[in-house]
Amino acid sequence: MQPVLGSRRPKRADARRNFDALLVAARDTFAEIGAQASLEDISRRAGVSIATLYRNFPTREDLVEEVHREEVEALCRAAAELGDLEPWEALVAWLHRFVEYIGAKLAFADALNRTTDSFQACRRAMRDAGGPLLERAQRAGAARPEPSIDDILRMISGISTVEYVDDAQRERVLRLALAGLRAG
């Protein structure tokens, strides 16, 4: 699948390895510490110099934006890979993947500049990826006809950002929301 969003990924193999290592280290570090994590710690975890980090990501915002873009790209790929499932199962599987995306995004959400072209492109890409899954489930009579993909993404985002007693409670609340989305 072709990327739906532009990437800063280098062409040379060695530079690409460093770039990818930085993204993995940043994603893990942001998940543990938050967006205020030390860039030196991220470069150390990636096994590259701080100069390599800055060569790839001149600012912290550039790094946060690229981690976010990678997460959205994975979410879009997941939607494209669900075509063999029944319409309802495909939609539910993608919405569960969306919940995972929200969990990853929460670690650095405050650092995202939501007015940038990149952030807006990511929002469009998610709607474009999930929309056909919802429409397919609606055409099959498996999902209620009223909601738009934007309605559903907002609902799932709200559910995902609330603090729960445990993961089981989060899953129960998500199942209740999905039951409300199901037709019949």
pLDDT in tens, 30-84: 888 877 889 999 999 999 999 999 999 999 888 988 988 888 999 999 999 998 9
pLDDT at 121: 87
**pTM confidence score:** 0.81
pLDDT at 6: 57
pLDDT band at 2 (very low <50, low <70, confident <90, very high): very low
Report, as an integer, the average pLDDT of 7-12. Answer: 68
- The pLDDT tens digits of the residues spanning 114-165 come to 677 877 888 899 999 999 999 999 999 999 999 999 999 999 988 888 888 9
Same fold for the pair 10-58 and 64-181:
no
pLDDT at 10: 65
- CATH H superfamily, domain 10-58: Homeodomain-like (1.10.10.60)
In terms of pLDDT, which residue wins out, 4 or 178? 178
Q: CA-CA distance, 63 to 26, in Å (whole number)? A: 8
Q: CA-CA distance, 176 to 152, in Å (whole number)? A: 13
Continuous segment of H or E residues that includes residue 121 = helix 117-139
How far are the Cα atoms of 158, 159, 162 from residue 165, in angstroms, in the given order?
Answer: 16, 13, 10
**For residues 111 and 77, is the Cβ–Cβ distance under 8 A?**
no
CATH class of 64-181: mainly alpha
pLDDT at 109: 65
Q: Is 61 left (phi over 0), alpha (psi -120 to 50) or beta?
A: alpha
Tell me the domain boundaries of the chain: 10-58, 64-181
- The pLDDT tens digits of the residues spanning 87-107 come to 999 999 999 999 888 877 776
Question: Residue 172: is its pLDDT beyond 70?
Answer: yes
Percent of the chain past pLDDT 70, that is, above it, reads 89
Q: CA-CA distance, 57 to 42, in Å (whole number)? A: 12
